[in-house]
């Protein structure tokens, strides 16, 4: 049975891999098994940093032979090292699962001895969990780049999702910060897994190979690439590898004086904007070219959808009572739920401004881009719109004012004079 | 102000609708709880009348579709004290309009009814994640929670499929309702007395493992308590193993 100390070490080493959804698979239980998968995924808890806990995210071992400069587990870093046996992992998963703490397992590992040796260990855990412990819940397995192809394909038969981390947005940065990894080592397995996934989906309706598909992750803020490059790279990944998600992880410095890396966590807002851009591509049909220029960064004061709208004011305003839904979702403040509510409700009669308020459309943003029965309620000048919207987004650095913060306020409170 | 006091059941609500239309009046407030008499408050006590209800129900089927009765039963699970009003107003407006207005979101009564139903479904989904089971003597798993809405029985199907042959109990401590599963059949009962639960010896160890995991997976540099609380409301914390501080 895994002890508290080793659990702590192996969890802390795994936490920077941000992908942790349990969605995409509708795996069914078996007669003698335990567990199933919920298609939309289930969030079991939330950490103090606001992220969801859905799976048991753990490393099989954090004893790594590589020395990737951004990673807390790099060989040259002085941290406690630990490993777990396949049975220890399986027991932990089963017991957590029965108590409804988790949806399943997210298993990764440091490179121990060699990529093949590590991949074999990981495969061992996964097969044991399915075959011996009869577990039918969610399993997300990290793929080890440069490991043998047959092992990787075999893993796809037992797990719900696999991912190979792109790590950095360009080959140049990868060579600089993780010289033992190579672009081909990462891309080749991604490609073969992708084509196997697509092929199986076409022939076999109930896809038993990687039902929840493939994802990847890259670190943001550790290297000089622009948001434009990152967004275009993501677009290409979605198109060519049919990925389900690309994850962006803001670089968190891990005790070093490395001149190649920043010393403070700078990328949090940037990571947020990248996710917003990612959503626009995946759900709203925006292309990378529409969202941001090649060598530009996403604006920090407003979200990418607003930024696009302000650059394309010729497109607006659109009339709420007649515009088709594909046009309505391009309006900042109107999403899919809002657009569908509008389309359904306007069949009963023309909508008014007050109706939109009741329907909880975010008019603070939308009012600058729509007309309601021909009437325009927003700001006419585009420069001033940006200012209006930017102000409402600035809740990152606002400080709670104290009643007695300045001498004048201080005085006023005491005397009652305004 | 006109207040209707009724018995809190669906049939009672239908009689309220009947009364309202027959007397050509619309109550400002409907409740099943105690009502305070006041100078400007006219209170009518509505006795459920199954005969009159038949006319109301057939009219509702005609205008609001075949699922309306199920929707109303579902909406009654909501724990909001204003739910009677919200459900009544929606049904009143449907009968008044003489057609299906379920998608007329520009109407406040429709939005309120939509929200009433939505809140229940959202909580069921959340509880699938937030229920924490404890291993007890006799290999039974026991979970306790205080949901805003009456959803204990709605939690059963998901966990029965998932846990297969493992017997478990889901206990709504607020309403004292128990959803039971013995490995093959399920039952929902109202608790009559206090329940004592005997945990196994190793239960404590697994709870510490979980707490350790919960604290270790956190990235302190990204602390955002406000965000966490928006996903994990504080009122649920007393039933979460990882949020309960040393007992």
Percentage of residues of chain B with pLDDT beyond 90: 83
A-contacting residues of B 195-234, CB under 8 Å? 206, 208-210, 212-214, 216-228, 231-232
Is B162 part of the contact surface with chain A (CB cutoff 8 Å)?
yes
- Residues sharing a CB contact under 8 Å with residue A264, sequence separation 6 or more, in sequence order: A253
Predicted pLDDT at A397: 46
Is B123 part of the contact surface with chain A (CB cutoff 8 Å)?
no
Answer yes or no: is pLDDT of B247 > 50: no
Mutant choice from B118, B162, B166, B225 vs A, greatest count of A C-beta within 10 A: B162
CA distance B203 to B207: 6
From the list B61, B79, B64, B73, the residue with the least C-alpha distance to B11 is: B73
Is A396 part of the contact surface with chain B (CB cutoff 8 Å)?
no
Residue A34: strand pairing partners: A135
DSSP per-residue letters across A231-282? HHHHHHHHHHH--SEEEEEE----S---TTS-SS---HHHHHHHHHHHHHHH
Per-residue pLDDT of chain A (418 residues; tens, 9 = 90+): 899 999 999 999 999 888 878 999 989 999 999 999 999 999 999 999 999 999 999 999 999 999 999 898 999 999 999 999 999 999 999 999 999 999 999 999 999 999 999 999 999 999 999 999 999 999 999 999 999 999 999 999 999 999 999 999 999 999 999 988 999 999 999 999 999 988 887 776 666 899 999 999 999 988 889 999 999 999 999 999 999 999 999 888 876 777 888 887 777 889 999 999 999 999 998 999 999 999 999 998 899 999 999 999 999 999 999 999 999 999 999 999 999 999 999 999 999 999 999 999 999 999 999 999 999 998 888 788 887 777 554 444 444 555 544 555 555 555 665 5
Is A94 part of the contact surface with chain B (CB cutoff 8 Å)?
no
CA distance A367 to A303: 16
Answer yes or no: is pLDDT of B81 > 70: yes
Nearest-Cα distance to chain A for B141, in Å, is 8
For A11, counting Cβ atoms within 10 Å of its Cβ (0-12 exposed, 13-18 middle, 19+ buried), the class is buried
Mutant choice from A3, A47, A320 vs B, greatest count of B C-beta within 10 A: A47
Q: Closest to B216 (Cβ–Cβ): which among A11, A92, A348?
A: A11
- Record the pTM: 0.90
- What's chain B look like in SS3? CEEEECCCCHHHHHHHHHHHHHCCCCCCEEECCCCCCCCCCEEEECCCCHHHHHHHHHHHHHHHCCCHHHHHHHHCCCCCCCHHHHHHHHHHHHHHHCCCCCCCCCCHHHHHHHHHHHHHHHHHHHHHHHCCEEEECCCEEEEEECCCCCCHHHHHHHHHHHHCCCCEEEEECCCCEEEEECCCCEEEEECCCCCCCCECCCHHHHHHHHHHHHHHCCCHHHCCHHHHHHHCCHHHHHHCCCCCCCC
Answer yes or no: is pLDDT of B144 > 60: yes
B-contacting residues of A 138-197, CB under 8 Å? none
CA distance A221 to A249: 9
Check A268 against B222: CB less than 8 A apart: yes
Check A15 against B219: CB less than 8 A apart: yes
Starting at the edge strand that comes first in sequence, how are the strands of the sheet with B2-5 ordered?
B29-31, B2-5, B42-45
CA distance A182 to A205: 35
Nearest chain A Cα to B115, which residue? A359
Is B92 part of the contact surface with chain A (CB cutoff 8 Å)?
no
What is the number of CB-based contacts under 8 A between chain A and chain B? 153
Nearest chain A Cα to B136, which residue? A99
Mutant choice from B166, B217, B221, B229 vs A, greatest count of A C-beta within 10 A: B217
Q: Closest to A345 (Cβ–Cβ): which among B106, B158, B216?
A: B106
Cβ neighbours of B167 in A, within 8 Å? none
- A29-49 in b/e form (b: 16+ CB < 10 A) is beeebbbbbbeebbbbbbbbb
From the list A303, A180, A330, A164, the residue with the least C-alpha distance to A237 is: A164
Is B184 part of the contact surface with chain A (CB cutoff 8 Å)?
no
Nearest-Cα distance to chain B for A150, in Å, is 32
Question: Phi and psi dihedrals of A161, rounded to 5?
Answer: -145, 145
Check B130 against A15: CB less than 8 A apart: no
Nearest chain B Cα to A91, which residue? B206
Q: Which two tokens stand for residue A134?
A: 């009869």
Answer yes or no: is pLDDT of B129 > 80: yes
Check A100 against B125: CB less than 8 A apart: no
Cβ neighbours of B232 in A, within 8 Å? 45-46
Predicted pLDDT at A18: 82
Nearest-Cα distance to chain A for B212, in Å, is 6
ipTM exceeding cut-off 0.95 for this assembly: no
Q: Which two tokens stand for residue A383?
A: 């420069």
Give the pLDDT band of residue B123 (cuts 50, 70, 90).
very high
CB-based contact A4:B212 (threshold 8 Å)? yes
Q: Is A320 helix (H, G, I), strand (E, B) or coil?
A: coil
Predicted pLDDT at A394: 47
CA distance A154 to A196: 11
CB-based contact B20:B57 (threshold 8 Å)? no
Is A57 part of the contact surface with chain B (CB cutoff 8 Å)?
yes
Strands (E), A144-234: 161-163, 214-220
User: What DSSP element (H or E) covers A55?
Assistant: strand A55-59
Q: Tens digits of per-residue pLDDT, B167-201?
A: 999 999 999 999 999 999 999 999 888 788 889 98
Question: Phi and psi dihedrals of A137, rounded to 5?
Answer: -85, -165
B-contacting residues of A 245-264, CB under 8 Å? 250, 252
Q: Which two tokens stand for residue B245?
A: 């501080």
Predicted pLDDT at B192: 84
Predicted pLDDT at A418: 57
Predicted pLDDT at B34: 81
Nearest chain A Cα to B233, which residue? A46
CB-based contact B176:B161 (threshold 8 Å)? no
Nearest-Cα distance to chain B for A55, in Å, is 11
B-contacting residues of A 29-48, CB under 8 Å? 29, 31-36, 38, 40, 42-48
Q: What angle do CA A132, A135, A43 make, to 5 degrees?
A: 155
Starting at the edge strand that comes first in sequence, how are the strands of the sheet with B186-190 ordered?
B133-136, B140-145, B168-172, B177-181, B186-190
Q: Which two tokens stand for residue A238?
A: 């979605």
């Amino acid at each position: 049975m895994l002890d508290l100390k080793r659990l702590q070490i192996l969890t802390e080493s795994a936490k920077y891999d941000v992908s942790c959804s349990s969605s995409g698979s509708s795996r069914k239980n078996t007669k003698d098994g335990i567990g199933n998968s919920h298609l939309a995924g289930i969030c079991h808890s939330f950490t103090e940093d606001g992220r969801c806990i859905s799976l048991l995210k753990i490393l099989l071992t954090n004893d790594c032979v590589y020395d990737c400069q951004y990673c807390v587990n790099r060989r040259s870093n002085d941290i406690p090292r630990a490993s777990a046996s396949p049975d220890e992992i399986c027991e932990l998963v089963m017991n957590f699962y029965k108590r409804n703490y988790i949806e399943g397992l997210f298993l990764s590992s440091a490179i121990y001895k060699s990529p093949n040796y590590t991949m074999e260990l990981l495969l061992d855990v996964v097969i044991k969990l399915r075959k011996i412990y009869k577990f039918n819940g969610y399993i997300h397995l990290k793929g080890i780049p440069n490991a043998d192809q047959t092992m990787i394909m075999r893993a796809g038969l037992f797990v719900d999702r696999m991912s190979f981390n792109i790590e950095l947005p360009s080959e140049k940065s990868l060579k600089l910060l993780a010289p033992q990894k190579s672009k081909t080592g990462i891309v080749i397995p991604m490609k073969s897994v992708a084509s196997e996934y697509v092929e199986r989906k076409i022939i076999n309706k109930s896809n038993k190979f990687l039902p929840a598909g493939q994802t990847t992750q890259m670190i943001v803020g550790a290297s000089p690439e622009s948001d434009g490059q990152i967004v275009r790279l993501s677009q290409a990944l979605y198109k060519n590898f049919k990925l389900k998600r690309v994850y962006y992880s803001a670089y968190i410095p891990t005790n070093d004086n490395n001149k190649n890396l920043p010393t403070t966590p700078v990328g949090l807002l940037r990571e947020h904007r990248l996710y917003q851009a990612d959503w626009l591509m995946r759900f709203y049909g925006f292309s990378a070219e529409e969202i941001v220029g090649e060598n530009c960064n996403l604006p920090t004061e407003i979200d990418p959808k607003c930024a696009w709208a302000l650059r394309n004011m010729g497109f607006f305003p659109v009339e709420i009572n007649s515009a088709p839904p594909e046009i309505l979702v391009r309006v900042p403040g109107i999403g899919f739920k809002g657009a569908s509510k509008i389309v359904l409700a306007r069949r009963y009669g023309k909508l008014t401004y007050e109706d939109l308020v009741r329907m909880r459309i975010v008019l603070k943003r939308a009012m600058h881009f729509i007309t309601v029965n021909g009437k325009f309620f927003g700001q006419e000048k585009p420069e001033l719109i940006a200012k209006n919207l930017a102000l409402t987004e600035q809740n990152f650095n606002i400080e709670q004012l104290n009643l007695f913060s300045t001498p004048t306020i201080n005085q006023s409170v005491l005397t009652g004079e305004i | 102000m006109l207040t209707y006091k009724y018995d809190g059941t669906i049939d009672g609500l239908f009689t309220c609708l009947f009364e309202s239309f027959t007397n050509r009046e619309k109550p400002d407030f409907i409740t099943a709880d105690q009502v305070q008499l006041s100078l400007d408050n006219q209170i009518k006590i509505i006795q459920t009348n199954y005969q009159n209800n038949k006319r109301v129900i057939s009219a509702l089927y005609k205008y609001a579709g075949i699922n309306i009765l199920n929707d109303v039963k579902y909406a009654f699970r909501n724990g909001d004290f204003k739910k009677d009003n919200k459900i009544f107003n929606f049904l009143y407006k449907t009968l008044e309009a003489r057609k299906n207005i379920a998608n007329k979101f520009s109407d406040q009564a429709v939005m309120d009814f939509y929200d009433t139903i939505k809140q229940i479904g959202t909580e069921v989904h959340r509880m699938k994640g937030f229920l924490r089971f404890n291993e007890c003597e006799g290999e039974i798993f026991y979970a306790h929670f205080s949901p805003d809405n009456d959803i204990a029985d709605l939690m059963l199907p998901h966990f029965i499929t998932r846990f297969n042959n493992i017997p478990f109990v889901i206990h709504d401590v607020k309403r004292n309702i128990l959803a039971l599963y013995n490995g093959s059949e399920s039952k929902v009962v109202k608790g009559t007395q206090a329940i004592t639960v005997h945990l196994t010896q190793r239960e404590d160890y697994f709870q510490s493992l979980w707490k350790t995991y919960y604290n270790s997976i956190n990235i302190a540099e990204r602390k955002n308590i406000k965000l966490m609380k928006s996903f994990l409301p504080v009122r649920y914390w007393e039933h979460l193993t990882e949020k309960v501080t040393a007992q």
